[in-house]
Amino acid sequence: MSDTQNRLREKLLRTACVSPPPIVSDSLAGTETPQWLLDVGTAMRSKQCSFRKPTGATLMASHQAGCTLALRVLLDR
């Protein structure tokens, strides 16, 4: 973060915490697609899943904490 102002960097060092969210649960969807439910704080959760392809894998994340409906619809097809 060398491109940010010194005051902002100092404030972030004092107040920000960057760490991976705890995994609440993990499972396999009907198509053997791995999915995870993450605790993102303040009683909010976010669902993530991974789709494997011949060329690699794609990680899909719900676009807003607490919004797992769209992923559930995709995974249940």
Q: Is the pLDDT of residue 14 over 80?
A: yes
7 in a domain, yes or no?
no
What pLDDT does residue 76 have?
46
The boundaries of the domain holding residue 29 are 20-75
15 in a domain, yes or no?
no
What pLDDT does residue 15 have?
92
14 in a domain, yes or no?
no
Largest CA distance in the chain: 50
What pLDDT does residue 18 have?
80
pTM (predicted TM-score): 0.53
36 in a domain, yes or no?
yes
Cα 50 to Cα 69: distance, rounded to the nearest angstrom: 16
What are the pLDDT digits (tens) for 28-73? 877 778 888 888 777 777 778 888 888 888 888 775 655 555 555 4
The answer to whether the beta carbons of residues 45 and 38 sit under 8 Å apart is yes
